[in-house]
């Protein structure tokens, strides 16, 4: 198999060079079809990932992805015998709903230019965009439950490309929502709105095609039954879209937490706690906390009711850089490097997130000898705190 993979790598590199020299997808797809006839569909992603590790730029992988989509054998993940309750089945059922939303958006676009129909059309488009906002939960589940498990099997680039496309979608959906909310006369924004709506529809259909014909078959090839159960548990914890069919979800399972040393006391400088007490205290803090060790590996997060950003157990043992979209990795690396060298001890950011005003703080964690132990991320909704005035001395 190794010799065959080396031959496939060679052909893939040649195809990429042809694309970089200006050849169109249609001109190289026959050679790619020949590759697909020789190996399993899922092996392509593994080989692509190996090429990236050898120095192939990510943009070249994206070029190849276009060819892969164009010539895919269209092996449906449904043919892999996944059924209700399986994470892939759930994701595919959600794809069907969102595809229908994208199709309806495209059908409505001509009506935007018809004066008598424009107002009603805008109303319906606003409803459809709300569905696209809800679809973000689907993306969050993929990013925090499915992608980490694929990465644990050594395949990192396909999830990175899909996450990048998720962020492009989020940006465009936000732009569309803003355009719809603006009080600008429709005649002045019809062209921009229609263009953005057409783009998001095409983007979603293309993205789903890549997932269904590249990412999902790769996942089904790599991930074992026990790992799929872990993914399902994580997806249950993160929650589903309001349009996710209940029959697709299957049973939401409760996972028993087993501690090998439950009841053992932990003695600290300022007191002694049992593990049960310690975990309960951390879970009752009105903040999200996540700890990343000195090797940039996620080691712990608390299970607070106040959680703002999604966390699943799949991130434990994952490099923190993989827990952020590609556009944020440079900032993450800079903070961690400055913590590690002692140049910085903390970093703060604050953003509006719906009705929340979120304060995100990073703290360098150091030992008694000032050695760097890791980074603590603390996240809190401070909107309620900003409303506090005067004093309160009595219990209501």
What pLDDT digit, counting tens, does each position of 24-43 carry? Answer: 877 777 777 777 666 665 56
When pLDDT is averaged across residues 137-153 and rounded to a whole number, the result is 94
Residues whose CB is less than 8 angstroms from the CB of residue 349 and which lie 6 or more positions away in sequence, other chains included: 359, 360, 361
Task: Evaluate if residue 242 carries a pLDDT over 80.
Answer: yes
Identify which has the larger pLDDT, 64 or 301. 301
Q: How much is the pLDDT for 70?
A: 65
Q: Is 342 helix (H, G, I), strand (E, B) or coil?
A: coil
Question: In angstroms, rounded to a whole number, what is the distance separating the alpha carbons of residues 93 and 169?
Answer: 19
CB 175 within 8 A of CB 189: no
Backbone angles phi, psi at 166, to 5 degrees: -55, -45
Q: Give the pLDDT band (50/70/90) at residue 257.
A: very low
Q: What is the pLDDT of residues 80-101, one digit of tens each?
A: 458 889 999 999 999 999 999 9
Q: How much is the pLDDT for 258?
A: 41
Burial class of residue 6 in the structure, from the number of CB atoms within 10 Å of its CB (0-12 exposed, 13-18 middle, 19+ buried): exposed
When pLDDT is averaged across residues 373-391 and rounded to a whole number, the result is 91
Identify which has the larger pLDDT, 248 or 188. 248
Burial class of residue 93 in the structure, from the number of CB atoms within 10 Å of its CB (0-12 exposed, 13-18 middle, 19+ buried): middle
Which region among 4-13, 74-83, 306-315, 383-392 has the lowest average model confidence (pLDDT)?
74-83
Cα 351 to Cα 7, 346, 359, distances in angstroms: 49, 17, 7
Residue 257 token pair: 């937490």
Question: In angstroms, rounded to a whole number, what is the distance separating the alpha carbons of residues 101 and 197?
Answer: 11
Helix (H) or strand (E) holding 373: strand 372-381
CB 65 within 8 A of CB 164: no
Q: How much is the pLDDT for 205?
A: 93
Q: Give the pLDDT band (50/70/90) at residue 237.
A: confident
Q: Could you count the other beta carbons within 10 Å of the beta carbon of residue 276? A: 12
Which region among 3-12, 88-97, 114-123, 127-136 has the lowest average model confidence (pLDDT)?
3-12
Scored b (16 or more CB within 10 A) or e, 154-179 reads ebbbbbbbbbebbebbeebbeebeeb
Q: Is 378 helix (H, G, I), strand (E, B) or coil?
A: strand
Scored b (16 or more CB within 10 A) or e, 289-319 reads bbbbebebebeebbebeeebebbbbbbeebb
Q: How much is the pLDDT for 249?
A: 92
Task: Evaluate if residue 162 carries a pLDDT over 60.
Answer: yes
pTM above 0.85, yes or no: no
By C-alpha distance, which of 94, 83, 196 is closest to 137? 94
Name the average pLDDT for the chain.
85
Q: Give the pLDDT band (50/70/90) at residue 344.
A: very high
Q: What are the counts of helices (DSSP H) followed by strands (DSSP E) for the chain?
A: 16, 7
Identify which has the larger pLDDT, 360 or 307. 360
Q: Is 358 helix (H, G, I), strand (E, B) or coil?
A: strand
When pLDDT is averaged across residues 292-298 and rounded to a whole number, the result is 93
Q: Give the pLDDT band (50/70/90) at residue 396.
A: low
When pLDDT is averaged across residues 301-310 and rounded to a whole number, the result is 84
Tell how strand 372-381 and strand 288-293 pair up.
antiparallel
Q: What is the pLDDT of residues 353-364, one digit of tens each?
A: 888 999 999 999
């Amino acid at each position: 198999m190794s010799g065959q993979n080396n031959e496939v790598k060679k052909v893939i590199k040649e195809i990429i060079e042809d694309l970089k020299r200006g050849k169109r997808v249609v001109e190289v797809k026959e050679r790619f079809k020949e590759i697909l006839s020789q190996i399993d569909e899922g092996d392509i992603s593994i080989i692509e990932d190996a090429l990236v590790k050898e120095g192939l730029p990510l943009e070249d992988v994206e070029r190849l992805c276009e060819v892969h989509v164009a010539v895919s054998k269209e092996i449906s993940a449904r043919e892999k015998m996944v059924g209700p309750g399986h994470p892939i089945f759930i994701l595919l059922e959600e794809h069907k709903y969102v595809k229908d939303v994208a199709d309806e958006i495209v059908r409505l676009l001509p009506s935007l230019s018809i004066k008598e129909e424009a107002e009603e059309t805008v109303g319906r488009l606003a409803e459809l965009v709300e569905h696209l906002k809800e679809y973000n939960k689907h993306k969050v589940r993929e990013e925090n439950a499915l992608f980490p498990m694929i990465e644990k099997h050594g395949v990192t680039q396909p999830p990175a490309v899909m996450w990048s496309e998720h962020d492009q979608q989020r940006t465009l959906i936000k732009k569309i929502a803003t355009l719809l909310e603006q009080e600008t006369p429709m005649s002045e924004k019809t062209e921009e709105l229609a263009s953005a709506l057409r783009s998001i529809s095409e983007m979603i259909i293309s993205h789903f095609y890549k997932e269904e014909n590249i990412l999902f078959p790769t996942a089904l090839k790599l991930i074992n039954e026990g790992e799929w159960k872990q993914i399902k548990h994580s997806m249950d914890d993160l929650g589903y879209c309001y349009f996710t069919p209940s029959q697709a979800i299957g049973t939401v399972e409760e996972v028993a937490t087993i501690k090998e040393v439950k009841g053992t006391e932990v003695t600290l400088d300022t007191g002694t706690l049992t593990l049960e007490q310690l975990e309960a205290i951390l879970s009752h803090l009105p903040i999200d906390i996540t700890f990343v060790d000195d090797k940039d590996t996620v080691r712990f997060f608390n299970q607070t009711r106040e959680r703002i950003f999604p966390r699943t157990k799949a991130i434990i043992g994952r490099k923190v850089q993989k827990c952020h979209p590609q556009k944020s990795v440079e900032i993450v690396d800079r903070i961690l490097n400055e913590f590690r060298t002692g140049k910085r001890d903390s970093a703060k950011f604050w953003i509006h997130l719906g009705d929340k005003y979120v304060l995100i703080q990073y703290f360098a964690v150091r030992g008694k000898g000032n050695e760097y132990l890791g980074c603590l991320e603390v996240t809190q909704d401070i909107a309620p705190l900003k409303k506090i005035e005067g004093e309160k001395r009595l219990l209501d």
